[in-house]
Structure 1
Amino acid sequence: MTDDLLGRHRSVLPDWLALYYEEPIEITHGEGRHVWDSDGNRYLDFFGGILTTMTAHALPEVTKAVADQAGRIVHSSTLYLNRPMVELAERIAQLSGIPDARVFFTTSGTEANDAALLLATTYRRSNTVLAMRNSYHGRSFSAVGITGNRGWSPTSMSPLQTLYVHGGVRGRGPFAALDDYDFVAACVDDLKDLLGHTRPPAALIAEPIQGVGGFTSPPDGLYAAFREVLDQHGILWISDEVQTGWGRTGEHFWGWQAHGRSGPPDMLTFAKGIGNGMSIGGVVARAEIMNCLDANSISTFGGTQITMAAGLANLTYHLEHDLQGNARRVGGMLIERLRAAAAHVPAVREVRGRGLMIGIELTRPGTDEADPQAASAVLEAARAGGLLIGKGGGHDTSCLRVAPPLSLNVAEAEEGAAILEEALRSLL
């Protein structure tokens, strides 16, 4: 069945639509932190549909909310009042920390970032955007144009002029050998120098922890230091929280809060986990920025009733069960367990991350040279052992990405760590 489906996939879908594994699997159903494939194999899911199944597979509270809403009305567009959309927007606006916040819903993180760029460039009357090296912001034309990761940037053509800033990757690049204080100072000096050679950009867009880039991050406070410089030029700060939002890092509800001494960003974008698998994305911005557009606009599918019902139920469950606290506690244990396991594997350059957002970077032993073949081998070995993980990185996809649902318990974390340890040892 799977072989037939793979042939059909290849005959009608793009060649560039990536599939994991030498023998791709079809996931047919899930429950809690586990999924099953079409051959009946059961896996512990440590990737959650690319960080999207944030809470749990088949969470009863969410599935009931979806079923109940489907029995009433699924969709009507933004041309009509929509109670679930208003209710979810109220909660997100309050949680965002942005004063006088307005929320615009989209269907994905790509579309959310695209909308944020439209708002920023219109508000600032500039098509120049600052972005981070090694970044990823989506696959639309404008989002690709600000993506600083060669592996996910299929074209150099763009409607925007993008200038790339140092700082998103702590352990590589020209400032890697500096301590945290000097690293931040060097990145700020680089930003100041860059701004001295260009007309004022519209915004800086940055992931607090780079997702596709391999869960890399700067020292805490970098973006607060950047903000002081940006404010001097009237440049907006957009925090891309598509992967870091909703408490995944454990320590904070939003990634920007690790850099929060200067207050919240002007805009934040979100998606993935809020829908627990349903297609929800969005932008939160101050009212004066959100309302700067002087032409008509709608969203046909952004904020549709069935996805909003799922988001409300999922967010309520998340907050009532303190999944952020669980990510901090279980994630802290998991990362230490993985560091201990990796200490005996020369191919592991670094185990990094926060909460349930953990990266394991692989290189050829004794060097800093990326080893994507090793990453693929560990991915295969983990699947054979009953564990699904992801991979990414700005250096030839050589980083394993570990991001389970936030309801992961200690026993499941230990089980997954044991499987991953065995998979890493297969490199010896």
Structure 2
Amino acid sequence: MTDDLLGRHRGVLPDWLALYYEEPLEITHGEGRHVWDAQGNKYLDFFGGILTTMTAHALPEITKAVSEQSARIIHSSTLYLNRPMVELAERVAQLSGIPDARVFFTTSGTEANDTALLLATTYRRSNTVLAMRNSYHGRSFSSVGITGNSGWSPTSLSPLQTLYVHGGVRTRGPYADLSDAEFIAACVEDLKDMLGHTRPPAALIAEPIQGVGGFTSPPDGLYAAFREVLNERGILWIADEVQTGWGRTGEHFWGWQAHGRNGPPDLMTFAKGIGNGMSIGGVVARSEIMNCLDSNSISTFGGTQITMAAGLANLNYLVEHDLQGNARRVGGLLIERLRAAAAQVPAVREVRGRGLMIGIEVTRPGTDEADPQAAAAVLEAAREGGLLIGKGGGHNTSCLRVAPPLSLNVAEAEEGAAILENALRSIR
């Protein structure tokens, strides 16, 4: 990125619109798992536009579908029948596991979560929502109001009453020293106690793996145990699959399936990876929940033909090439490689995650105290080595986030791990 472009950026865009790196870069093009900046430098991309480039950069199958659709019609709104939207909705409904599912497309995960909150609170006639500590659900007024991460909550004002529940972070908090079974039991008892002191909430919204929160997660089965408590009281479960969906975790197509003992969620939100860079989000819900609104509603840009064509081509490629299986296999190799490297770095508290969704938490050596400066230094060092990664975490952004496109191969995983190992070793 030139100084002129950076100056122009600062001259017209908000101060709170964050940029990575001390010298921000302009990405001009990409191919496969690599991108190039305006100076011609090549990088291995281990962040994919915040988990959005799910399959690959410049995937021919997607560019062809977008080109062909744009030559016909790009947009008409939901006021007209839309064949690509119906076709993608049919696929998503079937894959969701939700019975008698209906699908509403939006332009982002934020808007998807907004819609899910509207549906749940209308259906239940309650504006109380349960959310997880350390969570992130978007940047709109209502989704900020249920975000349990202070770094992403610019206001305490909200149209909702939000109650925050234990359980999203396994290795921190009052239950961290318990076994998995004891951890789940303690969180369930805490949930029951909370529900005994409030009017019945509309829903619990939860990310199966917390994305912005630093790829943290509870033990498998926590949300199944929560579901038993919720079902007794008619409280809905919204699974926020914006970052965990489409096979990224390797073991499952959806993150909720690690907690699926009591069936699928009542509502599920998705976005990011399904568009492979195109603006697609959405909500899946049982028909009686989706159809509970009694006033008119449309979407001008949700489900537009060109994004639906991209989503269909992307989903077809994902399934036909078993990218979920690839995420499991290559992701398993990558996380073990990173754990071995991190074992030699005292500043790394934990390497966690599953599939191609891996977090590396950086703290001051020998403590649980976050070290955001060290995390930022690793981010810079990785870039210098030719690797792009992300940051996150609920403790002052001290977690490095690794989430490459799901087509990552073994050689690229080894290359990225070697660069990241060198970057971690540079911590002073």
TM-score category, normalised to shorter length: over 0.9
Query: Secondary structure at 1:400's aligned position in 2?
Result: strand
Structure 2 stretches lacking a partner, 5+ long: none
Q: What corresponds to 1:397 in structure 2? A: 397
Deviation of 1:206 after TM superposition, in Å, equals: 0.0
Q: What does the per-residue CA deviation read over 1:300-355, in whole Å, with 9 as the maximum and x for residues that have no partner?
A: 00000000000000000000000000000000000000000000000000000000
Q: What does the per-residue CA deviation read over 1:134-159, in whole Å, with 9 as the maximum and x for residues that have no partner?
A: 00000000000000000000000000
Q: What corresponds to 1:378 in structure 2? A: 378
Identity of aligned pairs, percent? 89
Q: What corresponds to 2:294 in structure 1? A: 294
In structure 2, distance between residues paired with 1:276 and 1:63: 10
In structure 1, distance between residues paired with 2:226 and 2:2: 49
Q: What does the per-residue CA deviation read over 1:252-271, in whole Å, with 9 as the maximum and x for residues that have no partner?
A: 00000000000000000000
For the pair 1:108 / 2:113, whether they are aligned, the reply is no
Q: What corresponds to 1:387 in structure 2? A: 387
> Structure 2 matches for 1:310-389, cutoff 5 A?
310-389=310-389
Letter in 2 for 1:312: L
Q: What does the per-residue CA deviation read over 1:6-27, in whole Å, with 9 as the maximum and x for residues that have no partner?
A: 0000000000000000000000
Q: What corresponds to 1:58 in structure 2? A: 58
In structure 2, distance between residues paired with 1:327 and 1:107: 26
In structure 2, distance between residues paired with 1:401 and 1:408: 16
In structure 2, distance between residues paired with 1:337 and 1:367: 23
Q: What does the per-residue CA deviation read over 1:143-190, in whole Å, with 9 as the maximum and x for residues that have no partner?
A: 000000000000000000000000000000000010000000000000
Q: What corresponds to 2:285 in structure 1? A: 285
Letter in 2 for 1:283: V
In structure 2, distance between residues paired with 1:345 and 1:317: 38
Q: What corresponds to 1:141 in structure 2? A: 141
Q: What corresponds to 2:426 in structure 1? A: 426
> Structure 2 matches for 1:72-87, cutoff 5 A?
72-87=72-87
Q: What does the per-residue CA deviation read over 1:190-210, in whole Å, with 9 as the maximum and x for residues that have no partner?
A: 000000000000000000000
In structure 2, distance between residues paired with 1:317 and 1:424: 34
Letter in 2 for 1:247: G
In structure 2, distance between residues paired with 1:400 and 1:3: 27
> Structure 2 matches for 1:1-400, cutoff 5 A?
2-400=2-400
Deviation of 1:29 after TM superposition, in Å, equals: 0.1
What is the alpha-carbon root mean square deviation over aligned residues? 0.4
Letter in 2 for 1:28: T
Q: Which segments of structure 1 move beyond 6 Å, counting only runs of 4 or more?
A: none
In structure 2, distance between residues paired with 1:315 and 1:366: 44
In structure 1, distance between residues paired with 2:326 and 2:319: 11
In structure 2, distance between residues paired with 1:54 and 1:328: 14
Q: What corresponds to 1:412 in structure 2? A: 412
Letter in 2 for 1:315: L
In structure 2, distance between residues paired with 1:167 and 1:2: 44
Query: Secondary structure at 1:359's aligned position in 2?
Result: strand
TM-score by length of 2: 1.00
Deviation of 1:2 after TM superposition, in Å, equals: 1.6
Letter in 2 for 1:104: F
Q: What does the per-residue CA deviation read over 1:31-60, in whole Å, with 9 as the maximum and x for residues that have no partner?
A: 000000000000000000000000000000
In structure 2, distance between residues paired with 1:23 and 1:427: 19
Letter in 1 for 2:324: Q
In structure 2, distance between residues paired with 1:18 and 1:178: 37
